[in-house]
Amino acid sequence: MTITVGDKLPDATLVQMGGEGPEPVELSSKTDGRKVVIFAVPGAFTPTCHSAHVPSFIRTKDQFAEKGVDEIICVSVNDPFVMGNWGEATGASDAGITMLGDPEAKFTKAIGMDFSAPPAGLIDRSKRYAMLVEDGKVSVLNLEDSPGTCEVSAGEGLLADM
């Protein structure tokens, strides 16, 4: 079942690159008692994700902060090494966006946001979405109709719905 507005996020352990290598991150430690944006992409370094989705949140980061957002998190079904390098390549890490990998797609599947597109080599990946999460509950959810589209899930699209 796909997560909807009003639902609490499931317990999940994602992974990020730390100073000593991969580090587990309990999603609840990022969301409990906080206001965060989580946006997800089908794949690091893929065209729309790289040239449109991540840059939209870099551009709008300050506007989210003005609305009380504590943190912006990017999730992708990729390993933490790829996510760390992608954060550096896009400037997302320098902008303060948290890059988290969901390497086994456990979180993505738990919220019903998984899809596969074998011709593109994308198996068990995340649909493109953006959500506002307040104290662990989804308060706004913007899901794209197509993984190649980045409109309602872009930073500007989510801001317009807050």
Provide the annotated active-site residues: 49
Residue 63, classed as helix, strand or coil, is helix
User: Please, are residues 72 and 64 in contact by the beta-carbon 8 Å criterion?
Assistant: yes
User: Please, are residues 42 and 147 in contact by the beta-carbon 8 Å criterion?
Assistant: yes
Say which residues have a Cβ less than 8 Å from residue 9's Cβ, sequence separation at least 6.
Answer: 3, 27, 28, 31, 111, 133, 136, 137, 138
